[in-house]
Amino acid sequence: NAGVTQTPKFRILKIGQSMTLQCTQDMNHNYMYWYRQDPGMGLKLIYYSVGAGITDKGEVPNGYNVSRSTTEDFPLRLELAAPSQTSVYFCATTGLLSYGQYFGPGTRLTVT
């Protein structure tokens, strides 16, 4: 039981490049989230999903896209990377009967 896994752990992108951050969970949770964490700012919600095929924007969605084709996977796509997207990205999940959210280990992204 791996919980929530994220790949890659680290990535350096050049401005304008694109990439996909992967998130996979094996807890059969309905809800999945993407947060970004910037120093001194806490975590901000980018996108969330309440189930396969259903996604919606969070507080800071600009510059990102998501999809949810299966219960297990919730990838986050950056199409045209910008320095403002330099951050640590966390994927989280929760179930209908869960308390709190379960977080992955994070992906540290640098855009230069």
Partner 1 sequence: AQSVTQPDIHITVSEGASLELRCNYSYGATPYLFWYVQSPGQGLQLLLKYFSGDTLVQGIKGFEAEFKRSQSSFNLRKPSVHWSDAAEYFCAVGARSGGGADGLTFGKGTHLIIQP
| Rounded to 5°, angle at Cα 14 from 78 and 103 | 45
Q: Which range in 12-20, 61-69, 71-79, 91-99 contacts partner 1 by CB under 8 A?
A: 91-99
How is the beta sheet containing 64-66 ordered, strand by strand?
A: 4-7, 19-25, 76-78, 64-66
Of 2 and 14, nearer to partner 1 (C-beta) is 2
89 touching partner 1, by CB under 8 A: no
**Can you spell out the DSSP letters for 94-107?**
E-TT-SS-EE---E
Quick one: which of 45, 73, 75, 77 contacts partner 1 (CB under 8 A)?
Answer: 45
Tokens, residue 84: 């403002």
103 touching partner 1, by CB under 8 A: yes
- DSSP tag of 73: B
Quick one: which of 19, 20, 22, 43 contacts partner 1 (CB under 8 A)?
Answer: 43
Q: Which residues bind partner 1 (CB under 8 A)?
A: 4, 31, 33, 35, 40-43, 45, 48, 50, 56, 58, 90, 92, 94-106
